[in-house]
Amino acid sequence: MFDKERSLSSLEISQLTNNYQSTELFHEILRSFIHTKNNEICKHFERGKDICANQLNTIQDKLEEELPQLPMWESEIDRELPPPFSARLMLFKVALLAGATTGQYGVSASSVLRKDIGVSFIKMMSEMMLFAEDTGNLLVKYNLLDQPPLVKKKE
């Protein structure tokens, strides 16, 4: 039951496909946000898009062992349009989506029985947590979000 050599269970297929769909949505949202005027924020969204693309490939590799490839939505976003929202709203939305994606990976890691899939979810979760932290730091840097209260440092 816990061996990599066994076939995927219906629960594992469900977790993989659900995560694939939500990560694909996040990937396309980041692609649409890349056209922002701020170069640093643009590079941050580009990095997030690359993280999502790598995670989609990881999920697809797990599914390809036994199932056909899932469709991608790359043709659905028009790359020539100006940014759809302000930088503040885009960063805030990305922070929320990164947090939700991180949580979803955590739930998935706890519900699968194959070690290789669980490790993949944990790795993807840690990558997304770092991206979410950087998004929060950008929000604070550009005064789009207040710095949360911090513990006083020991002297």
- Kindly give the residue spans of alpha helices, DSSP state H, lying in 65-114: 87-111
Instruction: Give the torsion sign (CA, 48, 59, 23, 136).
Output: negative
> Does 110 or 76 have the greater pLDDT score?
110
**Model confidence, pTM:** 0.85
The pLDDT tens digits for 53-96 are 999 999 998 887 677 666 666 655 656 667 778 888 999 999 99
Looking at domain 10-141, which CATH architecture does it have? Up-down Bundle (1.20)
Helix, strand or coil, per DSSP, at residue 13: helix
Cα–Cα distance for residue pair 135/132, rounded to 1 Å: 5
What residues does each domain of the chain span?
10-141
Give the amino acid at 44. Answer: H
Identify the DSSP state of 67: S
